[in-house]
Amino acid sequence: NNGTAGQILQTDGNGNLTWVDKPTGITAAEQWRKLAAETASGDTDILDWERVDTTGQGSIGTGISESGGAFTFPSTGIWLAQCWCVCYYDGGAQNSAQLEVQVSTDSGSNWTRQAMCYDSIPDATSNTNSHLYVDTMLDITNASTFRLKITVGGASNFVWRGNSGHNQNGITFIRLGDT
């Protein structure tokens, strides 16, 4: 038996060889970013996303889609979601900013916090920046009903940065393997 095109030989450690399909590695990796700055208070879903398209930035595949702030995935598997944001507070007294990843397994009818981070911003008179980062591993077993959204929070006078020319607030999705 010579196997088929693209297969490799694998040993079981006891001298037995078999033909197997070659591992494919990462099959999907994309970045999305917030398009424009937005002033928000309380918990706010980020709604204005675009797939990163700046010269020099790349992706593997284009299967993730977004509508109304909710991301959908093209396939099941273990996915890594890495989210970062920059905001500034122009309100004076000390406050905190919050970034969270929420997921739904029922097409967005119910949402559960998957990951969250806070940053305390000291007293400030203008434009005190905060940088937040959170990541989470997702086990997507039903791609047709799984959704993910990003929610930010804080008091009034928080401005969540965004720009269509470079990444300020964004999220990276990488499919690591099968579920």
Say what the pLDDT of residue 92 is: 62
Say what the pLDDT of residue 43 is: 82
Task: Concatenate the DSSP letters of all residues of 84-129 into one string.
Answer: EEEEEE-SSS-EEEEEEEEEESSTTSS-EEEEEEEEEE---SS-EE
Partnered with residue 116 across adjacent β-strands are: 100
Question: What does pLDDT average to over the chain?
Answer: 88
Q: The whole model's pTM is what? A: 0.84
75-117 pLDDT, tens per residue?
Answer: 999 999 999 988 877 666 667 788 999 999 999 999 999 999 9
Say what the pLDDT of residue 94 is: 61
Say what the pLDDT of residue 16 is: 93
Say what the pLDDT of residue 144 is: 97
Say what the pLDDT of residue 62 is: 74
Burial class from Cβ neighbours inside 10 Å (0-12, 13-18, 19+) for residue 113 reads exposed
Say what the pLDDT of residue 131 is: 87
Q: Give residue for tokens 């937040």.
A: 132
Residue type, 76: T
Say what the pLDDT of residue 141 is: 97
Identify the segments of the chain with pLDDT beneath 70. 90-94, 122-127, 155-157
Say what the pLDDT of residue 87 is: 83
